[in-house]
Structure 1
């Protein structure tokens, strides 16, 4: 294949040996399942759909799948309708697991197809620092701002085609995981990858308008309720809040409207660590999102509760009701602040 049109200057590159090992899995495969983790965000959806577009151009039959439907805000993604909540008859030669390094992160989709996935040939692409890798080949780089960044590096180094639809999906992953290139995880390579996607025809406004500029009134009411519920500790350096089914009902909101509420709390003046707790439909389980500023590593804190993520953004699922989970986590946050 003529690779003269590819951007070979993206640096640092992926380990070319890993790229070759991954292609050795892809080339003989006819049917490929691409997994996005449960409670999907822009990066896992964009990476799964974008890589599916790329591999279809290489003649592969691709089925993107996720335990949960995509939030309505991502309705603009090309071929979003192809996203399934099941692996059907499990007739796949290869599974590509994206934006998570543990099969359990794929939630009910993994539980429903555990026997198949536990023995399947898996290619894992992820950028989380806590990722242990779940594949026969694992392309894991915590230095990447998004899994979409790694997918583009892989596409470029493997000499695969990149069309406009794939570029839009992958730019969605890049923009959402960096908050439009605002986070410290954004590197020169991240910006170069973004430029590559723009050159391929992706239009940033297509992504930014529905995600960052247009908000339903119910979502803003939910945000107001969460801020009203907020409590602080350590002189305002720690802040936390919560939402329940009742919170959603009063605001007229849906669960997907709570996206990035931890980030909203972190952006309050003086805050160093923000925690957002939520419990919807499962009173005995609490989901936790943490956001922080330097030097606090919230991935390490979330790992204590069975979760993980990035140094400045992480999460966990805790098998305790809100009234029990909140004080446990707040204590851990206070210990982290006192040690710093």
Structure 2
């Protein structure tokens, strides 16, 4: 990784994007507000006393304190998943030079879901590690397939071709998922809740299982950031700056697939987070990947956490799954981006 990045780091001058400090402060404040809202709101609103008991008095036996214990794990898990999806979206957009790339748009989430449902149906998987392994394998194979199909023909992997390839692949894989589930009632029961995308069943075991994958993905993304800036200039220009573009794309893609595959395995196929987070941050601070990647993680954590809160409030006394909320918000935005004349390669 050092040989891949160092030639670029020596030639690119470091400059802080305009308004970066302001955006960071506002983002951290918004993150704090989201955390408080996630702890306080749900099918029952938790007061300050119960919130403090749940956070600082583990022995408290009140109903509010017991609810708080569950909400703390749920909030931490949603922050981790949102941050991971934000980074994955930023990496996929940079690698493909496609401003509307996202795990859900490119069909990567559907590929991960197909492998998971196949594991449930044919191999009776049940542990988190088994889910993660199959989801990452499915995400990787689908990503390679979609990029290969989208690269065929004149012009190479253009944004529209990649989106069409992703949509077609996702539709085909969704049909396979239905074909596997429909004859198997027990598989449908286990898969039905998971496929909506939810952080409601989060626990500390899921979080500790997820953290190593999250840390690895973050480290790879940060180490690749400077070289991804050069890649935005084009393969020839990046090669002239000393970047091995093939190796860079492989490493960054592995990080993106690892992050979105792990999230899909544990929380289900939650869509549009990477697309929304990266676009918002790019509009605010520009395209420099050294700042775009960490800020996309912050934005992704905010978007997913507040979407979870909205789903709980609107669905009270039950809840709307967070995957439904993000799809309701993200789908119209994707349509607007796709029809804009300015949508082109980065």
Q: Indicate whether the TM-score tops 0.5.
A: no
Q: Which has the higher strand share?
A: 1
Q: Which has the higher helix share?
A: 2
- TM-score between the two structures when normalised by the length of structure 1: 0.28
Tell me which of the two structures has the higher relative contact order, counting C-alpha pairs closer than 8 angstroms and 6 or more residues apart.
Answer: 2
